[in-house]
């Protein structure tokens, strides 16, 4: 079962929705990481062996957060003007589509009606 750390860039309701459907989820605001820098939030997710869920596009930088070197990052790219229920619905729909696939080491980009997954490529033998 996937584990998630939800960044403060996501609606507060996101962690509740993840829990409602059965995932282990923790909001950084619950563990006194509100206002923490990206590296601190990322490190915390790694210590929890959890995938980070965020709307912060800085986490898409694979030079800073290399593919294969973390427990997974999910970046939710939806317009800020959308109601939180749509944001959460898009995330849950994306996770349902990814069911059975490992998130470990992957960068997942969630957009309206679209999910993209980047994984570390296997070296040629």
| 33-75 pLDDT per residue, tens | 999 999 999 999 999 999 999 999 999 999 999 999 999 999 9
Give a yes or no: residue 125 inside a domain: no
pLDDT of residue 1: 84
Please compute the mean of the pLDDT values over residues 22-40 and round it to a whole number: 95
Give a yes or no: residue 81 inside a domain: yes
Number of structural domains (the chain) is 1
Give a yes or no: residue 74 inside a domain: yes
Give a yes or no: residue 28 inside a domain: yes
pLDDT of 83 above 80:
yes
> Model confidence over 87-96: pLDDT tens digits?
999 999 999 9
Closest by CA position to 51, among listed 86, 20, 26:
26
Burial of 53 (0-12, 13-18, 19+ CB in 10 A): buried
Count CA atoms closer than 13 A to 67's CA, side-chain side: 10
pLDDT of 125 above 50:
no
Give a yes or no: residue 123 inside a domain: no
Give a yes or no: residue 23 inside a domain: yes
| Domain assignment of residue 32, given as a range | 3-118
pLDDT of 123 above 60:
no
pLDDT of 124 above 90:
no
The encoded tokens of residue 12 equal: 């507060």
Give a yes or no: residue 124 inside a domain: no
In terms of DSSP bridges, do strands 24-27 and 3-6 run parallel, antiparallel, or are they unpaired?
A: parallel
**pLDDT level of residue 30 (50, 70, 90 thresholds):** very high
């Amino acid at each position: 079962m996937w584990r998630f750390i939800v960044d403060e860039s996501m609606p507060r309701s996101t962690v509740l929705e993840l829990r409602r459907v059965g995932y282990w989820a923790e909001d950084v605001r619950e563990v006194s990481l509100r206002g923490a820098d990206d590296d601190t939030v990322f490190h915390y997710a790694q210590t929890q062996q959890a995938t980070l869920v965020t709307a912060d596009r800085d986490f898409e930088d694979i030079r800073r957060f290399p593919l294969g070197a973390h427990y997974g990052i999910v970046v939710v790219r939806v317009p800020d003007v959308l109601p939180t229920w749509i944001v959460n619905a898009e995330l849950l729909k994306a996770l349902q589509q990814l069911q059975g696939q490992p998130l470990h080491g992957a960068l997942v980009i969630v957009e309206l009606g679209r999910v993209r997954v980047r994984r570390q490529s296997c070296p040629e033998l």
